[in-house]
Chains A and B, each alone.
Chain A
Amino acid sequence: MAGRRRKRLDLTTPGLLGLPLAWLVAFFLVPIGIVGAYSIDVFSIYPAKHPVTLAGWDDFVHSTVYLKLFWKSVRMSLVVSVLVVLLAYPVAYYLALSGTKRKYILLLILIAPFLTSYLLRVLAWKVILGSNGVVNSFLYWLGIRAHDDPVSQLLYSRFAVMLVLVYVWLPFVALPIFVSLESLDRSLLEAATDLYASRWQAFRRVTLPLSMPGVIAAFLFVFIPTVGEFVTPSLVGGTSGYMYGNQISDLFGTGFPDWRTGSVLALFLLAVVAVLTGVFARFLGMRQAGAR
């Protein structure tokens, strides 16, 4: 009897893990392997025979163009991620700690934009930022700008990409911060008050450190997708808002495709994101261990 039970237990774990693992292998690891194969010409979209080569990687490492573009995207993503976290934190703080009874209704309102299409939300900014858009029309009306002299940097610019990305990700980022603040042990705040800590000191020494896992998770939620972003820049970015993700997309899809270089760029991005995630995860683990 005991033997039969043990046998059933042995099958339960692989049974439960099997499907997600198979999914992971089939739709994550295998595609990455295929992309890796394209990066060294094991596979090629052109019918002629190609020898296996590391030329794609060699070109990438020695090309300042691609690395410069990558760092430009990293800088843009960092600015967006920091701004989004800074803007989302007070919102999440209010919702979680103000004691308002309507916090879940407010939370629903906050995430309401998700009910509409991503593309629609991005395209709406074209109407707002264009030469004849809402902002410029308002400036014409005020007499600050002439009709012939709109603020052209509002649209098809790096600024437009970062503005739209901040707008798009703000509600999404408020959620993990809200969850970490919501689960905060309030007695710690009471203890801080009992020990004559000011509200600022209590925030700095108690609330903020304990909400850091949520903050870092929120930061990563924005940084990882935006560093490889290509939809928003292609719609509102123009030439100056062109990002690393656009380059990958172009290498695979437009003009005369170069899947080898595209694969190299994609794998490099994946590697950087994986390393960054690992570093942050380790940092969080160390903090949590320290807290214990």
Chain B
Amino acid sequence: MSEGEELFERRVSREDFLKLTAAAGAAGVIAGRAGAADAALARLAKESGRLQVMDWAGYEVKSLWAPYLKKYPGEKPKFTFMTNEANAFAKLRAGFKPDVFRPYVGYVRDFAESGFVQPWDPKLITILKNLNPIMVKAGQYNGKQYGIPNDWGFDAILYRTDKVHPTAKSWSLLFDKRYSGKIAWYDDLNQLVWAGYYLGFKQPYNQTDDELKRSQKLLISKKKMVRMFWSSETDMQNAFASGDLWIAYAWPADWVAMKAKGLKVAYMHPREGPLSWIGMLMLGKGTPRPQHAHAYADAWSSVQSSSWLENNYGYGAANTKARPTSSDLLKVLKLTDPNAVREPKAHIDRYMPRRAVYARLWQEVKAS
């Protein structure tokens, strides 16, 4: 039995069967029409209720999943927002059961092992063949496709070209004392990762205790030059636009937003390599709407949605057929190079066996 058939079998539960029998019987008695039972079967075979999507704020925009609505007219998904993977995890733990949600690539294994998700049926994702194979592979765990890649981008350095004159293309710009008080770091444990790359460690995503101490020491010693650790992209963008910041650890979308405000900005890929990330749509375990969920993932991967994502948010899309209209964006996202997201050109976010240690040390950097 194929996975698709399995999903159908699961969907028609005992309760559904009883409903079906009752509906068919009632239809036969009342209407006396032979086709009524077939109609009832078709109705029950359809998945009921709106698709539950847990996603990041900004990703509920209709243009990003419009083909889904074309397939299921009038069945707009219901959105709940997640602020990060931990927040998503806490919601799942509390009993929330989204059909689809979106952690990033570094958490694929964590969620696959959590018991809250199930693998996708690749046969039902018609656009899978058009997605960047490197990203598709990054969504796999134990040979199963747990994540469907969609949005992706870099973590690198945004700076004002009219105010800042870097001496080197390096992460060290994030602690250049000439610009003390005008710098922002991202409030995330991966600050220890770029510090590890700057210090030349072999495995910055899996540093030894000694290496972590050295990375932490670097961050603590340079923290006094940092004006803010941003967690809200809007806050950082506002501070950047108002002149409070000149340099920021940022995403490509921030470069797009600052350019749109008329600022002279550049997006630097440091020589030690930028970090890169891929958003992965995951399928909730035991979802009652698997067909809808697959259609939703398909819609997100479409050229139409992907191009909209690139043009409007400045993130890359996994669909290699999608291209932004701006040549600047094409250059910054390095969309012509399918390998731009991985080693040696960028350090793709990945499973971190010592994530808890990183998290504790990062909290200590903030508290110090």
A130 B187 Cβ-Cβ under 8 A: no
* Bound CA span A227–B89, Å: 30
Query: Which of B95-103, B227-235, B314-322 sits within the interface?
Result: B227-235
CB within 8 Å of A: which of B156-205?
A: 181-182, 187-189
A253 B366 Cβ-Cβ under 8 A: no
A39 at the interface (CB under 8 A from B): no
Nearest-Cβ distance from residue B283 to partner chain A, whole angstroms: 19
Contact with A along B68-90 (1 / 0, CB 8 A): 00000000000000011011011
* Bound CA span A180–B359, Å: 48
A254 B360 Cβ-Cβ under 8 A: no
A254 B86 Cβ-Cβ under 8 A: yes
B303 at the interface (CB under 8 A from A): no
Q: Which of B228, B238, B363 contacts A238 (CB 8 A)?
A: B228
Q: Which of B228, B243, B363, B364 contacts A131 (CB 8 A)?
A: B243
B188 A255 Cβ-Cβ under 8 A: yes
* Bound CA span A68–B367, Å: 8
Residues of chain B lying within 8 A (CB to CB) of residue A130: 239, 242-244
A156 B86 Cβ-Cβ under 8 A: no
Residues of chain B lying within 8 A (CB to CB) of residue A112: none
A242 at the interface (CB under 8 A from B): yes
B229 A239 Cβ-Cβ under 8 A: yes
Nearest residue (CB) in A for B189 is A255
* Bound CA span A89–B357, Å: 48
Determine the interface band of chain A, counting residues with CB < 8 A from chain B: 20 to 34
B84 A254 Cβ-Cβ under 8 A: yes
A251 B228 Cβ-Cβ under 8 A: no
B86 A69 Cβ-Cβ under 8 A: no
B86 A132 Cβ-Cβ under 8 A: no
* Bound CA span A47–B368, Å: 31
B115 at the interface (CB under 8 A from A): yes
B242 A254 Cβ-Cβ under 8 A: no
A36 at the interface (CB under 8 A from B): no
A132 B367 Cβ-Cβ under 8 A: no
Contact with B along A34-56 (1 / 0, CB 8 A): 00000000000101000000000
Residues of chain B lying within 8 A (CB to CB) of residue A247: 363, 366-367
A65 at the interface (CB under 8 A from B): yes
Nearest residue (CB) in B for A238 is B228
Would A256 and B228 be within 8 Å (CB), given that A47-B115, A247-B367, A250-B366 are in contact? no
CB within 8 Å of B: which of A232-281?
A: 238-240, 242, 246-247, 250-251, 253-258, 261
B226 at the interface (CB under 8 A from A): yes
A253 B86 Cβ-Cβ under 8 A: yes
* Bound CA span A258–B89, Å: 13
List the 10 shortest-distance A-B pairs measured between CB atoms, nearest first.
A256-B359, A131-B243, A238-B228, A69-B367, A257-B86, A65-B364, A65-B367, A152-B181, A131-B244, A156-B227
Chain A to chain B contacts (Cβ below 8 Å), 27 pairs:
A45-B90, A47-B114, A65-B367, A68-B368, A130-B243, A130-B244, A132-B242, A133-B242, A156-B227, A156-B228, A156-B239, A238-B227, A239-B228, A239-B229, A239-B366, A242-B366, A242-B367, A250-B187, A253-B86, A253-B87, A254-B84, A255-B359, A256-B189, A256-B355, A256-B356, A256-B358, A261-B363
Chain A residues engaging chain B, CB cutoff 8 angstroms: 45, 47, 63, 65-66, 68-69, 126, 130-133, 150, 152-153, 155-156, 238-240, 242, 246-247, 250-251, 253-258, 261
